[in-house]
Structure formats: C-alpha cells, structure tokens
C-alpha cells in the first residue's frame, strides 16, 4: 500500500512536469499546432532593415499574421531581402500590398507592418512585395534634421 502511494506520487510529479512543458509550449511561447505547414512565404527587398531580426513578427492592422523567417543580402542590388511566412488563412493580400519596417514604441523591437492595396489579384507563395518602406533610422533622422537646421541658419 505504502509502495503504491510512493509510485503514485512520483507519477503525479512526472505528469506535473509534462503539464508544465505543455503550458510553456502553447500558453507561453504561443506555439500553435497548426503553425507549421499552414503558411506561405513572400519576400521583399528593403533598403535598410535598421535592426529587424529573424522571427520578428509580421502584422497587419496590429494583428500578428506571420513571422520573418530569413534575412539575407541581395548581392546584385546591395539591398536586404526579407522572407516572411504568412498564415494560410490570410490569403487575400493584394499584390500591391506594401510592407514597412516599424518600431513598437519609441525604442521597442522592429516588426513588419503590411498595408493592403487595391488590386484584386492576391499574393501567392514565393511572390515579391514590391512596395516597401525601410526602417526609420533614428541617427539618419537626427542627422537630416541638423543638416536642415544648418542650411536654414
């Protein structure tokens, strides 16, 4: 009897571990079962990423609809290429959708914001987003501001 209860307690302990792991996976890291596979990839050129990272979120109207999966340099154009995967259920992004690198808050992390256009054709897997707007780099902004001031003065 005593032995049974010992094994039972240890069993409960193990179950608690598994429950904790499951909570970590789904509640904390937002892993969703349908995450893999149910996405399609689109790419975009940017002049300047300004600190955009892998796995940054892609959002539309403030709702996260995908993630950045890959970032590399296009050697012919000397510009950055960003690959992002978009959830399959958001399948009606027009081909003239524009992408901008935005910042959450003043100093927050960078993310990509999408804004739809007017075309009736939709982006498919592997398509390029043509209309992009690079990150606003604070140093450049300040530099330009000072330059303007100097010209005025």
Strand order in the sheet with 39-46: 128-129, 39-46, 79-87, 63-74, 57-60, 110-115, 98-103, 131-133
Distance in Å, CB of 77 to another protein, minimum: 27
The residue behind tokens 């959002």 is 59
In angstroms, the CA 98 to CA 73 distance is 20
- If one asks whether residue 51 binds another protein (CB under 8 A), the answer comes out as no
Choose which of 2, 33, 37, 55 interacts with another protein (CB under 8 A). 55
Residues 111-140 that bind another protein (CB under 8 A): none
Name the site residues for another protein (rule: CB under 8 A). 3, 6-7, 9-10, 13-14, 16-17, 20-21, 23-25, 27-31, 55, 57, 64, 105-109
């Amino acid at each position: 009897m005593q032995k049974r209860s010992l094994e039972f307690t240890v069993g409960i302990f193990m179950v608690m571990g598994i429950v904790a792991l499951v909570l970590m996976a789904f509640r904390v890291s937002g892993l969703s079962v349908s995450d893999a596979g149910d996405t399609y990839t689109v790419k975009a050129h940017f002049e300047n990423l300004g600190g955009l990272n892998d796995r940054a979120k892609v959002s539309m109207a403030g709702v996260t609809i995908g993630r950045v999966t890959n970032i590399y340099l296009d050697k012919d154009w000397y510009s950055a290429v960003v690959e992002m995967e978009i959830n399959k259920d958001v399948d009606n992004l027009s081909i003239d959708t524009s992408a901008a690198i935005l910042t959450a808050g003043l100093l927050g992390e960078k993310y990509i914001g999408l804004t739809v256009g007017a075309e009736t054709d939709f982006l498919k897997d592997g398509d390029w987003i043509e209309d992009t707007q690079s990150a606003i780099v604070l140093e450049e902004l300040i530099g330009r501001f000072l330059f303007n001031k100097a010209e005025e003065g």
